[in-house]
Amino acid sequence: MLVLRPIRESDFPALLNIAHESGHGFTSLPVNEELLKNKIARSVASFAKETDKPFDEGYLFVLEDTDSGEVVGTSAIEAAVGMDDAFYHYHLSQVIHSSRTLNVYKAVDILTLCNDYTGATELCTLFLRPGFRQKYNGKLLSKSRFLFIKQHRARFADTVIAEMRGVSDASGNSPFWKWLEEHFFSMDFPTADYLTGIGQKVFIAELMPKYPIYVNLLSKEAQAVVGEVHENTRPAIELLKSEGFVFNGYVDIFDAGPTVEAHVDHIRSVREAQVRTVKIANTETPAQGCSAYMVANGKLADYRAMALELVLPADNNEIVISPAVAEALLVQEGDTLTIATI
């Protein structure tokens, strides 16, 4: 069975493999051993930290196949972005060029560099190995973070965002960055992406254009990808939209991929989650009448989540699970689990 849990120091080789597999454009997992070890150490410290407000914590999870011990995916939450390093976006908006004398009225799209999401909670570092992209695995890896946020509400901001990977080819070439590189930079997209991933962001402030960029002055190729997602990222953005996330015009400064946002209390899984009391029994899942749920304990450092097919009793507030599932979720009879449809 597959169980989501906080990362451990012993997961480093698996995380390094995932960093290699994830490819270009996956800024939050650069192939850098020291940085990955630091990410794990920071996550372990964040789960152990006592706090009642979000600051610089980073919570990194892995999806483990308990039968083989193999780590097959990862996802993460940044409690509050931009508190240590500047957090940049372009905001897509319009200016009006008009002249009554000439009877001209034209709305023009512009991109303005900003730090508007400073302090927001960010969903990030989502990657599931190709062989496991089936059934509920991807949804569990992504959406179980909402249950964690709900259970530990004080640790997170009111606004939750997710940066979606923008359009680039198999070699890591981004049409949007190609235009920026030609006019303002002298480095290719993979290099800029890597430097950002390892925390070297000073060059952004030093070299990025200080004034708004008129979108109609971009190359046709760059214009076409503003606010568009990478083909492999379409399922992820559709999942977030189904949870209530919306695009409000913020795009990544490197590949122009969209950033989506939601108020935490408006996220469907947060809003509709239930708390049920555990009952342990050796029962088989009925062939009919069951529904798929993500199920999570309420722990912090020992957080566990799974996807289960269940029939929930209508006449009480119990959830009936097998001894094996109870062991995997680190719960006993009489404990509680938070659940939401997956």
The pLDDT value given to residue 202: 60
End-of-domain residue from the set 247, 271, 295: 271
Same-domain status, 191 and 284? no
The pLDDT value given to residue 296: 98
The pLDDT value given to residue 4: 98
Answer whether residue 76 is part of any domain: no
Answer whether residue 92 is part of any domain: yes
Answer whether residue 136 is part of any domain: no
The CA-based diameter of the chain, rounded to the nearest angstrom, is 82
Under the banding of pLDDT at 50, 70 and 90, the label for residue 27 is low
Same-domain status, 90 and 206? yes
* Residue of 165 and 140 predicted with greater confidence: 140
What is the DSSP track for 67-128? TTTEEEEEEEEESSTTSSS---EEEEEEEEEEETTTTEEEEEEEEEEE-TTTT-EEEEEEEE
Under the banding of pLDDT at 50, 70 and 90, the label for residue 172 is confident
Answer whether residue 194 is part of any domain: yes
Give me the phi and psi of 338, to 5 degrees please. Answer: -95, 130
Answer whether residue 31 is part of any domain: no
Same-domain status, 201 and 222? yes
Same-domain status, 228 and 321? no
Q: Cβ atoms within 10 A of the Cβ of 224, count?
A: 13
> Which tokens belong to 160?
């939750």
Same-domain status, 239 and 278? no
Answer whether residue 256 is part of any domain: yes
Same-domain status, 254 and 324? no
Answer whether residue 35 is part of any domain: no
Catalytic residue among 20, 183, 230, 266: 230
Same-domain status, 242 and 114? yes
- The domain that contains 298 carries what CATH number? 2.40.40.20
Same-domain status, 105 and 226? yes
Same-domain status, 202 and 259? yes
Rounded Cα distance, 273 and 183, in Å: 49
Rounded Cα distance, 337 and 275, in Å: 6
Please tell me the total count of domains within the chain: 2
Average pLDDT (196-205) is: 64
Query: What is the reported pTM?
Result: 0.90
End-of-domain residue from the set 228, 255, 271: 271
- Tell me how long the chain is: 342
97 catalytic, yes or no?
Answer: no
Nearest alpha carbon to residue 79 among 138, 127, 124: 124
Share of the chain above pLDDT 90, in %: 70
Residues spanned by the domain of 329: 272-341
Same-domain status, 294 and 313? yes
Rounded Cα distance, 73 and 70, in Å: 9
Same-domain status, 210 and 284? no
Would the pLDDT of 322 be above 90? Answer: yes
Q: Based on the number of CB atoms within 10 Å of its own CB, is 188 exposed (0-12), middle (13-18) or buried (19 or more)?
A: middle
* Residue of 202 and 214 predicted with greater confidence: 214
End-of-domain residue from the set 242, 271, 300: 271
Would the pLDDT of 193 be above 90? Answer: no
Answer whether residue 69 is part of any domain: no
Q: Round the CA-based radius of gyration of the chain to a whole number and report it.
A: 22
Same-domain status, 208 and 306? no
